[in-house]
Chain A
Amino acid sequence: MMRAAGWLALGVLVAAPLLIVLAMGFGTATSGVPPVIPPWGAGGWQGSLEAWGLVLSDSFYRDALWQSLRLAFITGALCLVLGFGMALGIAAAPPARQFIWLALVLLPFWTGFLLRVSAWVGLLRDSGWVNTMLMQAGLIETPLRMLHTEGAMILGMVHAYLPFAVLPLYASLARRDLTLEEAAADLGAGRWRVLFTITLPLAAPALAAAFLLVFIPAAGEVVIPELLGGPEALLVGRAIWQEFFQTLDWPAAAALATALLALLLLPVAAFQRLAAR
Chain B
Amino acid sequence: MRRWALYAGLFFLWAPIALMVAYAFSDGRTPYIWGGFSFRWFHALAANERLLEAAWLSLRIAAAAATLATLLGLVLGWVLARHGPFRGRPLFGALAGAPLVLPEVVMGLSFLLLIVGLQGLTGWPAQRGAMTVWLAHSALGMAFVAVLVQARLAALDPRLEEAAADLGASPFIVFRTITLPLIMPSLLAGWGLAFTLSLDDVVLASFVSGPGATTLPVYLFSALRLGLTPEANALATLLLGAAATLLLVYALAARWRARVETPPSRE
Contacts and interface: CB of A to CB of B under 8 A. Distances in A.
Interface of A: 2-3, 5-7, 9-10, 13-18, 20-21, 24, 34, 38, 82-86, 88-90, 92-93, 99, 101, 103-105, 107-123, 127-129, 132, 158-159, 162-163, 166, 212, 216-217, 219-223, 226-227, 237, 240-241, 244, 250, 253-254, 257, 260-261, 264, 268
A6 B75 contact: yes
B19 A15 contact: no
Nearest to B203: A222
Contact of A111 (B31, B109, B236): B236
A227 B224 contact: yes
Nearest to B227: A121
A6 B79 contact: yes
14 contacts: A14-B98, A21-B106, A85-B5, A93-B1, A104-B13, A115-B235, A115-B236, A127-B32, A132-B33, A163-B13, A220-B104, A241-B105, A257-B109, A257-B110
Contact of B3 (A92, A115, A122): A92
Given A89-B6, A119-B17, A212-B101, A254 B109 contact: yes
Given A132-B32, A216-B103, A115 B247 contact: no
Looking at B6, B10, B33, B116, the one whose CB has the most chain A CB atoms below 10 A away is B6
Given A112-B220, A121-B228, 19 more contacts: A2-B79, A6-B79, A9-B76, A14-B96, A14-B99, A18-B110, A89-B6, A90-B6, A103-B247, A104-B14, A105-B13, A114-B202, A122-B228, A123-B16, A123-B19, A129-B19, A237-B103, A254-B113, A257-B105
Interface stretch (B35-43, B153-161, B182-190, B238-246): B238-246
Given A85-B9, A89-B1, A110-B243, A21 B101 contact: no
B221 A114 contact: yes
B251 interface: yes
Interface residues of B, number: 77
Interface in B121-145: 135, 138-139, 142
